[in-house]
Structure 1
Amino acid sequence: MENTIYQSMQAAIRLLENQNIIANNLANVSTNGFKETFNLIIKNENVNNLYKTQTQKYYNFSEGILTNTQRKLDLIIKENGWLVIKDMNGKEAYTKNGHLQINAQGQLTIQNYKVVINQGDIKIPNNINIKILSDGTIKKIEEKEDKIFEKTIGSLKLVRFPKNNLIQKDNGLFYLKNHTLNQNLKVPHDDTVRVQSEVLEASNVNPTKNMVDMISNARAFDMNMKMISMYDQNTERANQLFNVNN
C-alpha cells in the first residue's frame, strides 16, 4: 500500500475516534461535574518512512461553573477530591457530580448509582430534613418542642489521588488505571477532602469550541476520504492504460 493512502486511512481512523469523543462531550454539556475529554496524537516515523501514531486520552479537570441551588442534597467536592459511588457491576467509581437523590429504598444515589458510605450503610427515612457537613458527615435534623436536634446518621466516602491515575469509562465515571492499584483493592476514605452543600458544579465542556472542533474534524475526514477515492481512481486508470499498452 502506498504511503499516501496509508497515511490518509490512519488519519481518517483517528478523526473518527476524535469525533466520537467530541460528540460525547457535547452530549454531556448539561451533566453535572462532567469533565471534558480530548485526544493527544503522538506521531513517530519508522524505518519505512511511514508514520506510526499513538493516541492518548486526556481530561480537562478544571472546575465547571458553580451554581447555588439551596438544595440540601446538592454538593461540590472541592479541589482534587472525589465522591465514591458503585457502578452497575458493584465496582467503586469516582465522580464530581454532587446531585444526590434518595431512592425508594432510602439510599443516596447519583444518576441511579448508589453512593458509597464511609462506614456501614444508611437508610434515610422519608420526610426528614438532613444536612451534609463539609467533611461529608450526614446529619438528621429534627425539631421537637421548639428545639432543634441533630443526629449523625452516616458520612460520605471521599477520596483523593493524582489526576493522572484516573481513566474515564463509557458510563462517564472515572476509575483508577489498572497499573496504579490492584482492581480488588479499595481506596481508603480521605479525611482531608472537603465538600460544600447547596452548590452544584456544572460540566466544564465548552460547547462552542467542541462544535467548531466537530466541524473541523468532519471536513478533515471528508478530505482524507477524497484522497483515498482519488488514489483508487488513479490506480484504476493506470491499470487501464497498462492493459491498453499490452
Structure 2
Amino acid sequence: MTKCIIVDDERPARDLIRLHLSGLQDFELLETFDNALDAFNFLQRSTVDLIFLDIQMPQVSGLELIKSLKICPKIILTTAFREHAAEAFDLDVLDYLIKPVIRERFMKAISKFTYYNNTIPEQTRIPSSFDNAYIFLKTGKEQTRVFLKDILYIEGYKDYIKVHTPNRVFVAFERLSYMEEKLPENKFARIHKSYIVSLDGITQYNAGEIKIAETSLAIGRIFKNNFLKKIQGYKRG
C-alpha cells in the first residue's frame, strides 16, 4: 500500500487531489495539511511514500519543505505557477502538475510513480558479498547487469546517468539520487551534485578534487566535509 499525504493551503486543491486518489487501488491517504510546517512535523514521526505538494504557501514553501528533509519521499508538485519547474526538477521531484490538476495528467504522474517505485527496485539485486553484488540498469530497451565492484564513478544528468567502468560507459535512464540510495555507503561517496565515486577507485584527493581512473572530478562545497571524513577513515578491502 502506497502511503500518501497532501500539502496545500487551498482546500479546493486538496479536495481535488483527494478525489483523484479515491479511485485508485493500493493508495492510502494518511493526512492532508494546509501548511508545510505541520507536514514537516508529521513526516518526522511517520513513514510516507508519496507527497502531493503545493509550492507557494505561507511561512514555508513546498520547495523549502523538500530541502529540509534528510530522507525525502517521492514528490509530485501541484502548483498554479510554471516558473518554478527548473528549480523543482533540480530537487529530484517526480512530476510537476499545473492547477487545476486534470485527471488525465494526474494519472500520468501516478504511472511515473509506479514505474520508479515498483519496477526499478525489483530489478535491483545487491547480495551481501560486495564482490558479487550487482545492479540492473535500464540501458535503452534492455536491462544491463553491472557489478558494483566495476563502477568507478557515476555522472548525473537529471533524468539519466553515465556509469563509468574500466571497460565501458553505461548510459541509463535513472536519477543520481536513486543510485545514491541503493549503493552501499561504505563503498561509494557523493562528492558533488553530479558525481558519485567508488572509494576503492580513488587514487588521489585533496580538499577540492579527487582523481579516479586518470580523471579529475571536483568536490562540491556542500559535500566536502562528509566526503573527507569518509575517505580519511576508509579502509580498502
Question: Which TM bucket (shorter chain)?
Answer: under 0.3
Length-normalised TM-score, structure 1: 0.25
Length-normalised TM-score, structure 2: 0.26
Answer with 1 or 2: which has the greater Rg: 1
- More helix by percentage: 2
Query: Higher relative contact order by CA 8 Å / sep ≥ 6: 1 or 2?
Result: 1
